[in-house]
Amino acid sequence: MTDAVPTPAATVAAVLEARGVTVRFGGVTALSDVSLVVPPQSIVGLVGPNGAGKTTLFGVLSGILHPARGSVFMHGRDATRTSPQLRAQAGLARTFQRAELFADLTVREHLVLAYRARHARPRLLADLMGRSIGDRAAEQARVGQLLDLLGLTPVADRVAGALPLGTGRLVEVGRALATDPSVILLDEPSSGLDIHETEQLAATLRRARTEQGVALVLVEHDLDLVLGLSDVVNVLDFGMMIATGTPSQVRADPRVRAAYIGEQDTVP
C-alpha cells in the first residue's frame, strides 16, 4: 500500500486504467495481460461469458485484488497497491450485483450517510462541536439534487426494505454518486430487473454521466443494455481481452460471436 491517496494529475487521458493485468489463483490464470481504459465522462462496457474474468477484473480495479503482473492507474497515478479505501478517496465508487442496502434506513438516509462518509469532518469532532449550518445546507442541497436526478424524491422517506428491486438499484447508484466520484464500477446493475426497470436504469445512467460528469464501467450479462449505453465495449473470454471497440464493431466481431456460441446464437 502506498502512503498517499493517488490524486489527479494536471491532464490525463483516463480516470481509470488497467495495463497488462495478470491474476492467478494457484495454478489457474484468471486474467492474462488484460488492459482497459476508462476516459473521463464515458460509459465503458465489460462483457463476456460466465467465468470470463469480469468479476476478477472488477476486483483488481477496485483494489480488492492485487495483480501478479500489470498496473492500475487512477487519473494517471499508479494505484496498483492502494487499498479500496484510498481508491474511494481518490474518486472510485462501486455497486454490487446483490443490493447492499439497510432495510430500516430510508432512501434519503442512505444518500446522507454516503455524502457524510466522503465530506463530513471526523465523527468525534462533528459530534463534539456539532455540524455547522453551512455543512447541513450543502448536504441537504446535494442529497436533494441526487433524489431529483434519480427520480427518487417521491420515495425519499420510505425505508429501503419496502422498495421494489428496481428502485433499490437506483438507490445504490445514488449512494455511489453521493460520494462525488469520478468513476463508478457497476456490477450487474440490471440483474433481476424487468424491461421497464431496465429502461429506467439506462436513462438514469445516461443522466448521471451527462449531468454529474462521472464515468461508468458496466459489467452486464444484458448485452442489449451494454451495447445501447456504452461508448466502448470490452469483451473478455477465458481471462483474455478478445475485443475492444464501439458497440457496432463488437457486434460484428467474429471472435465475440464465437465466444457466445452456446449462450446465444448472435450478439444483438
User: What secondary structure does DSSP assign to the chain, as a single string?
Assistant: --SS-----SS-S-SEEEEEEEEEETTEEEEEEEEEEE-TT-EEEEE-STTSSHHHHHHHHHTSS--SEEEEEETTEE-TT--HHHHHHTTEEE--SS----TTSBHHHHHHHHHHHHHSPPHHHHHHH---HHHHHHHHHHHHHHHHHTT-GGGTTSBGGGS-HHHHHHHHHHHHHTT--SEEEEESTTTT--HHHHHHHHHHHHHHHHHH--EEEEE-S-HHHHHHH-SEEEEEETTEEEEEE-HHHHHH-HHHHHHTTTT-SS--
Q: Is the pLDDT of residue 122 over 60?
A: no
Reported confidence tier of residue 53, pLDDT bands at 50, 70, 90: very high
4 within some domain: no
- pLDDT recorded at residue 214: 97
193 within some domain: yes
Q: Is the pLDDT of residue 229 over 60?
A: yes
Residue 229, domain CATH: 3.40.50.300
What is the rounded distance in angstroms from the CA atom of residue 70 to the CA atom of residue 80?
A: 8
Reported confidence tier of residue 186, pLDDT bands at 50, 70, 90: very high
87 within some domain: yes
Q: What is the pLDDT of residues 23-51, one digit of tens each?
A: 999 999 999 999 999 999 999 999 998 88
102 within some domain: yes
Sheet of 43-47: strands edge to edge?
92-94, 183-187, 215-219, 43-47, 232-237, 240-245
Segments forming the whole domain that contains residue 173: 16-259
The three cell numbers locating residue 166: 428496481
39 within some domain: yes
Q: What is the pLDDT of residues 56-70, one digit of tens each?
A: 999 999 999 999 999
What is the rounded distance in angstroms from the CA atom of residue 267 to the CA atom of residue 29?
A: 26
- pLDDT recorded at residue 99: 74
Most confident region among 119-128, 187-196, 235-244 by mean pLDDT? 235-244
116 within some domain: yes
11 within some domain: no
Rounded mean pLDDT, 72-89: 95
34 within some domain: yes
What is the rounded distance in angstroms from the CA atom of residue 217 to the CA atom of residue 37?
A: 10
Q: What is the pLDDT of residues 134-157, one digit of tens each?
A: 578 889 999 999 999 999 999 999
Name the pTM for this structure.
0.85
Q: What is the pLDDT of residues 254-267, one digit of tens each?
A: 988 888 754 444 44
The number of folded domains in the chain is 1
Question: Would you say 72 and 21 are in contact if contact means Cβ atoms under 8 Å apart?
Answer: yes
